[in-house]
Structure 1
Amino acid sequence: MDIIEDEKEYLIKAELPELKKEDVKVTVQDDVLTLSGEHKDEKEEKGKKCHRFERSFALPGDADGTKVSAEFKDGVLTIHLQKFEKATPKAIEVKIP
């Protein structure tokens, strides 16, 4: 799993070979991003089990948990986590009577 940061967002890339988009879930709750999934065998045989995983990350203070998007392509899950927009300083002229 790779986490890349730039001035606008955090980018999380996770390689999930042999998984399908339907088998992966991404949630954000209480400033925690959670990636979970289940690896299922197409053929269910006696004695074989499916494998589940879950990984959670506390969101950094500058991450906006309401602006998250994800895409899944060729076994790679890419999560875009936007940062809060920084307020630009604004000069206000004060008139003195």
Structure 2
Amino acid sequence: MSLIPRANAFDPFSLDLWDPFQGFPFGSSGGSLFPRIPSDSETAAFAGARIDWKETPEAHVFKADVPGLKKEEVKVEVEDGNVLQISGERSKEHEEKNDRWHRVERSSGRFLRRFRLPENAKAEQIKASMENGVLTVTVPKEEAKRPDVKPVQITG
């Protein structure tokens, strides 16, 4: 039996916002100690944008599925020099008075994901591109510093 890692397992670098009091009557309208993302049902449907993070010898590479979004609808920012923030919004489709919907399954709303970058990340050299509904953010890594080894001559 093999174990498959869960996508939502604890990740010490992820800074996703979570409010344990969401949905309770005393709510989070200023009384909570936790920051909030607006949480109407539309936003909740799209809030968990799926993002893969892999590390190569040269860089940290983030890939986010953002189908149907244009690059103008997605933001990639670096906060405090070491927090990568990826956010965006998919607008709700405009409804005409004569339209008759049979099924609505595509989600709309906002998403926000934050990741604390490791110390070896070169945040000032981040590049982002988008192709076929996939956002790719590449964060170059600093080269591992080799110890400065100086030979010492042995006398005697």
- Same fold (TM > 0.5): yes
- The alignment status of 1:38 with 2:89, answered yes or no, reads yes
Of the three residues 52, 72, 78, the one matched with 1:22 is 72
**Superposed CA offset, 1:48-83 (max 9, x none):** xx5111100001111111110000111000000001
Cα separation, partners in 2 of 1:86 and 1:41, compared to 1, 3 Å: same
Of structures 1 and 2, the one scoring higher in RCO (CA 8 A, sep 6+) is 1
Instruction: Report the alpha carbon displacement of residue 92 of structure 1 after superposing the two structures with TM.
Output: 5.2
Name segments (4+ residues, structure 1) moved above 2 Å.
Answer: 41-46, 85-94
In the alignment, the residues of structure 2 paired with residue 25 and residue 73 of structure 1 have an alpha-carbon distance, to the nearest angstrom, of: 15
**Runs of 5+ in structure 1 lacking a partner?**
none
Whole-angstrom distance in 2 between the partners of 1:64 and 1:45: 48
- For the pair 1:72 / 2:130, whether they are aligned, the reply is yes
Q: 1:4 to 1:36 in 2, by over 3 A?
A: same
Tell me, what secondary structure is at the counterpart of 1:7? Answer: coil
How far apart are residue 43 of structure 1 and its match?
2.2
CA distance in 2, matches of 1:54, 1:45: 29
Q: With structure 1 as the length reference, what TM-score do the two structures score? A: 0.80
Instruction: Tell me the percent identity.
Output: 43
Task: Provide the rounded CA distance (Å) in 1 between the counterparts of 2:146 and 2:119.
Answer: 18
Looking at secondary structure, tell me which structure has more helix per residue.
Answer: 2
Q: What is the letter of the counterpart of residue 33 of structure 1?
A: L
CA RMSD of aligned residues (A): 2.3
How many residue pairs end up in the alignment? Answer: 92
Q: Compared with structure 1, are the counterparts of its residues 86 and 18 closer, same or farther at alpha carbon in structure 2 (3 Å cutoff)?
A: same
2:115 aligned residue: 57
